[in-house]
Amino acid sequence: MLVAHATWHGGALCLWAEHDGPRTGRGSVHPFATADFSGTSYAGLVRGAPRVVLDLILPSTADHPLPSAELGPEPFEGEPGLAVWRVPALVLDPFPAMTLLRSAEGQADVVPGTDLRYLALLAAEVADLVRRGRVLPALVREDGDPAARWRPVPDPARFRTLAAAMPPACRAVAPGRPASTVLREALDGLTDTTVRGSAPHPLLPERKGDVPDHIPLAERWFEALTGPDPSIRREPHDSAADLEAELDAWYRSALPATGPLRLTFRLTEPPPPAASVTAPVPPAGEAAVLGPQHGEPDDEPAWRVEFLLQGADDPSLLVPAADVWSGEALLEGAEEALLAGLGRALRVFPELSKALDGAAPSGLPLDTAGAFRFLRQAAPLLAAAGFGVFLPSWAGKAKLGLKLKAEEEEQDQDGAATSSGFGLTSLIDFRWELAVGEETIEEDELAELARLKTPLVRLRGQWVELDDEQLEAALTFLRHGRSGTMTAGQVVRAVIHAGEQSLPLVAVEAKGSLGDLLSGEADRRIRPMPTPAGIEATLRPYQERGLAWLAFMDGLGLGSLLADDMGLGKTLTLLAHLVQARPSDPAARRPTLVVVPMSLVGNWQREAARFAPKLSIHVHHGTRRHRQNELLRAATAADLVLTTYGTASRDAGELAQVPWARVVCDEAQALKNSSTRQAKAVRSIPAGSRIALTGTPVENHLTELWSLMEFANPGLLGPKKAFRERFAVPIEAEGDEQAALELKRATQPFILRRLKTDKSIITDLPEKQEMKEFCHLTVEQASLYQATVEDMLEQIAEADDKQRRGLVLATMAKLKQVCNHPAHFLKDGSRLPGRSGKLTRLEEICGEVMEAGEKILVFTQYAEFGSMLQPYLAARLDRPVLWLHGGTSKQHRDDLVQRFQEDAEPSVFLLSLKAAGTGLTLTAANHVVHVDRWWNPAVEDQATDRAFRIGQKKNVQVRKFICAGTLEEKVDEMIERKKSLADSIVGTGEEWLTDLSVAELRDVLRLSPEAVAG
């Protein structure tokens, strides 16, 4: 086994390796060091690299250096000391060095040491600096000769963090040098290499014609900034001092200020003309744009950039420059900070020189064009350089865009669609208008704005930035049709896909049903519906609003996603909708198809019989289900037809022959993969409208939301590929907030989601208390765990990609079984007591719950482990332990649920996560334990909500078992980072682990010292 090490020394990356074989060196030569990477993935990168010998100071015993952590600890007596060891190393050229650092942790045959991993981190840091443009060119001296280099401009706080995190091994070649010095040299070298690998070469075009005898130094420097050779050809009479000083000053000006005060710039707009105070706002088309204030040279408005000092630790401290010069600002070092800041800012904002002619500069007056340049160019550069910048509130907001006005047919007095039937195919009168914010711009106004060619104009008292591209697009737009008719569906699509053109949609004006829909707040704007006659329950207020929203969407012929939190009674709300929408004339009735997981068929039958007894129900499932004409007759005679996803997939063609009023999918996350057979089959069944019920509209990826919307409203979000490019990739990979806002706007009209934690929604639900139970491994478990990890790492080094994924996934399952119990892993039927930290803690918790006279749910993802636990816990607790798993029949399942809910005695209900994680109401329990956790927190939350839902009267305590110091703890950290599905995407299953390198796997899976009790 080879562990690769590296250090930055002499302006280059020096690479060596440590092996775990027999000694190879004598005397002061490192006995386990080598510079031979033959036969490894590193061989091609180090071929031809010069060989050197480094003197490294390393932790040592009496006769040899201690092995690195990657090779495992070596037991010895006494304290280690430091000794100098001679190490053979390779000096890598810049580009091979950068390539190696970028791929070091992705190789299976060489394990990177902490020093190499740290330098790989620096390479990634440099790549980010280059991507953000945080680099500057420099003229430096190398062995007395000038050279052109690129230098990084890191954030000082980040630099200090990196210096503090530097492993001691990175300074073993020069232990007396500060970490900051080593870090600076490494960053400089890596930055220069990175820029040269991405910048065009040459920067200067090839000379044509006669080449002058003397080429200026600045031009030779500029040419040397790209390509592999940074050296500058020297010529007689060269004088580099001025250029070097200029570039150094530029670099210093780009570094953020680090003192207690920083220079801040505030752009202030001119006061409104006196006429605008007394005169009324002119009507559209009549002098809305006034000549003198929009670019006439005789009367330029007085814009001004004010200079202030701001406290670095107290941003609320703002001192005008005038107070600094007058001595009124009693701040130590204020004048020096102001002068130094202005000098630095001059490099970024050259126009500042006009303000520096006086002895006490306090601000810079600007004309309108200058104010626009400050907004678009100087302000972003100043902010990036660490200066404070304050802009008017309208800056970047009030821009030219489109406003859509849509008029639909008349509404009745309740605001619901009239009997004539409003839907996506209804014709709508529309008119497009140009607008800035809330102000509409008429054609003559726009023509005047285009004529003036002024980037900043005051439009009806409001300053507006004008973009030349948008102006041209607006004029082109006006030359085409601005009004006419289109369907309501086209209107909705126009709103959803706004922002895909140069003129974004800034406002929509629509009344009635269409306006309620596009507002995204239809559930609050529509009058709640009381509980319909025929429902044997009283709806809660939020359910009444949900009922009105479903009726509203159904009336429009639009599909909907009822995404209320798990346990808020979506089933009852849907049943109430079916009862309310049921026509009084039997001849006009059409059935509703409800597609559910097989485990929920019985639950839906019971709920419907209990809450909506007047609805006739037919179950289409099982080997004796009706086919062809018999199915058509049975379905049309029923109000509600229940089927499973599997049956719907097999019988989609026959189900498509039934005239469905609507198709409803419960636990609709079953459709999250749009390419599966069942998702395609369910989408192929025609219906008047479609409803998706799910408490987790996004479990893993945003394309799941697209899949649900494609079921509810086919085509509304466009093709899946376009959705990925516009929303999924920018949001998931880049954290694009604007794309997230646009996606919310696009989907909000069709999704109704309320949370149990929102007290404005439900006030009588008790609290949920979540806690993590850290359990220790026994010595036996730790031994099995370590052996399993080492066995996998040995096999994976020789495996191809396909075999590797299988090995990793198999090992994950084995390690989780080890954490549960040795007998679970060994499958040998051996005894259970005293061999598992988890089992000991589970037994204690269940005993405490039984003594308190309460009930508990215990979830495991392994049916075989549940089968082991059930008789053991029943014997130890002297209480019946119910056990529900995938092999439990429907009737026995129903009996177990009824017994648990109705039996007054304390009890334990052991459940398989997959078989019982959804669809059950088990509110008799107020304790939940997750013995072995699933990687997806949404699945875990669904299981918890079997107890934490409507009907629960007690506070619910949820315990999540984690074996300390193992894979389970590291995965828990990952889950916590990605917990909020509204803000980020949660990784699914163990798949994320299969792409890790051997070193990463070793780090994730290794046992920590705290893993074993005692």
Instruction: Give SS3 for 912.
Output: strand
pTM score? 0.52
Instruction: Give SS3 for 451.
Output: helix
* pLDDT (0 to 100) of residue 416: 38
pLDDT band of residue 293 (cuts 50, 70, 90) is very low
The C-alpha atoms of residue 727 and residue 810 are separated, in whole angstroms, by 34
Regarding whether 715 and 572 lie in a shared domain, the answer is yes
759's tokens = 């007290």
Regarding whether 592 and 691 lie in a shared domain, the answer is yes
pLDDT tens for 494-541 read 766 655 556 777 777 777 667 767 766 666 667 888 999 999 999 988
* pLDDT (0 to 100) of residue 421: 46
Regarding whether 709 and 579 lie in a shared domain, the answer is yes
- Tell whether the model's pLDDT for residue 291 goes beyond 60: no
pLDDT tens for 651-682 read 999 999 999 999 999 988 888 888 889 999 99
312's tokens = 């670095």
Regarding whether 446 and 310 lie in a shared domain, the answer is no
The C-alpha atoms of residue 987 and residue 576 are separated, in whole angstroms, by 36
* Helix boundaries (H) for 56-212: 94-103, 114-131, 156-164, 179-198
Regarding whether 537 and 515 lie in a shared domain, the answer is no
The C-alpha atoms of residue 913 and residue 989 are separated, in whole angstroms, by 14
Does 737 reside within a domain?
Answer: yes
pLDDT tens for 346-362 read 878 889 998 988 889 99
- Tell the burial category of 899 from Cβ atoms under 10 Å away from its Cβ (0-12, 13-18, 19+): middle
Q: 51 Cβ partners below 8 Å, 6+ apart?
A: 35, 88, 89, 90, 91
Q: 209 Cβ partners below 8 Å, 6+ apart?
A: none
Regarding whether 837 and 717 lie in a shared domain, the answer is no
Q: What is the three-state SS of 948-1009?
A: CCCCCCCCEEEEEEEECCCHHHHHHHHHHHCCCCCCCCCCCCCHHHHHCCHHHHHHHHCCCH
**Amino acid (one-letter) located at 357:** D
Which residues on adjacent β-strands are paired with residue 59? 82
Please give the mean pLDDT across all residues of the chain: 81
Does 757 reside within a domain?
Answer: no
pLDDT band of residue 889 (cuts 50, 70, 90) is confident
Does 32 reside within a domain?
Answer: yes
pLDDT band of residue 811 (cuts 50, 70, 90) is confident
The count of structural domains within the chain is: 5
Interval 585-594 mean pLDDT:
91
DSSP secondary structure letters along 4-56: EEEEEETTEEEEEEEESSS----TTB-TTEE---TTSTTHHHHTT--EEEEEE
% of the chain surpassing 90 pLDDT: 26
Asked if 226 contacts 199 with a C-beta cutoff of 8 angstroms, the reply is: yes
- Tell whether the model's pLDDT for residue 19 goes beyond 60: yes
Give whole-number Cα distances, 777 to 72, 445, 523, 859, 948, in Å. Answer: 20, 76, 51, 20, 30
CA 544, 550, 556, 560 dihedral sign is positive
**Amino acid (one-letter) located at 195:** V
Range of the domain at 745: 532-752
Q: 132 Cβ partners below 8 Å, 6+ apart?
A: none
Domain boundary (693, 725, 752) is at 752
Regarding whether 972 and 875 lie in a shared domain, the answer is yes
Helix or strand run (H / E) with residue 311 = strand 303-311
Asked if 825 contacts 784 with a C-beta cutoff of 8 angstroms, the reply is: yes
pLDDT band of residue 216 (cuts 50, 70, 90) is confident
Asked if 387 contacts 264 with a C-beta cutoff of 8 angstroms, the reply is: yes
Chain CA centroid to CA 809, Å = 25
* pLDDT (0 to 100) of residue 108: 63
pLDDT tens for 911-957 read 998 888 777 889 999 999 999 987 777 778 888 888 888 788 888 89
Regarding whether 988 and 853 lie in a shared domain, the answer is yes
* pLDDT (0 to 100) of residue 212: 58
pLDDT band of residue 414 (cuts 50, 70, 90) is very low
The C-alpha atoms of residue 126 and residue 98 are separated, in whole angstroms, by 10
Regarding whether 963 and 911 lie in a shared domain, the answer is yes
Looking at per-residue pLDDT, the higher value among 987 and 837 belongs to 837
Phi (first) and psi of residue 677, to 5 degrees: -60, -40
Q: What CATH number is associated with residue 977?
A: 3.40.50.300
Asked if 669 contacts 694 with a C-beta cutoff of 8 angstroms, the reply is: yes
Does 454 reside within a domain?
Answer: yes
Residue with tokens 């031994």: 783
Does 953 reside within a domain?
Answer: yes
Domain boundary (198, 216, 238) is at 198
Does 602 reside within a domain?
Answer: yes
- Tell whether the model's pLDDT for residue 419 goes beyond 60: no
- Tell whether the model's pLDDT for residue 998 goes beyond 70: no
Regarding whether 585 and 460 lie in a shared domain, the answer is no
Q: Name the CA radius of gyration of the chain, rounded.
A: 36
DSSP secondary structure letters along 416-455: SPPTT---TTSEEEEEEEEEETTEEE-HHHHHHHHHHT-S
Looking at per-residue pLDDT, the higher value among 227 and 116 belongs to 116
The C-alpha atoms of residue 961 and residue 842 are separated, in whole angstroms, by 9
Asked if 235 contacts 359 with a C-beta cutoff of 8 angstroms, the reply is: no
* pLDDT (0 to 100) of residue 858: 96
The C-alpha atoms of residue 391 and residue 394 are separated, in whole angstroms, by 8
* pLDDT (0 to 100) of residue 295: 39
Does residue 772 come out as left (phi exceeding 0), alpha (psi in the -120 to 50 range) or beta?
Answer: beta
Does residue 849 come out as left (phi exceeding 0), alpha (psi in the -120 to 50 range) or beta?
Answer: alpha
Interval 149-168 mean pLDDT:
87
454-463, 577-586, 599-608, range with the lowest pLDDT: 454-463
Does 106 reside within a domain?
Answer: yes
715's tokens = 């085509």
pLDDT band of residue 275 (cuts 50, 70, 90) is very low
Does 246 reside within a domain?
Answer: no
* pLDDT (0 to 100) of residue 369: 85
- Tell whether the model's pLDDT for residue 418 goes beyond 50: no
* pLDDT (0 to 100) of residue 512: 67
The C-alpha atoms of residue 318 and residue 265 are separated, in whole angstroms, by 11
* pLDDT (0 to 100) of residue 700: 63
Regarding whether 451 and 357 lie in a shared domain, the answer is no
Asked if 636 contacts 658 with a C-beta cutoff of 8 angstroms, the reply is: yes
Regarding whether 790 and 747 lie in a shared domain, the answer is no
Pick from 607, 561, 596, 874: which is nearest to 708 by CA? 561
pLDDT tens for 94-144 read 888 888 888 776 566 788 888 998 999 999 889 888 887 888 899 988 877
201-205, 431-435, 930-934, range with the lowest pLDDT: 201-205
* pLDDT (0 to 100) of residue 659: 95
Residue with tokens 């107070």: 323
Instruction: Give SS3 for 450.
Output: helix
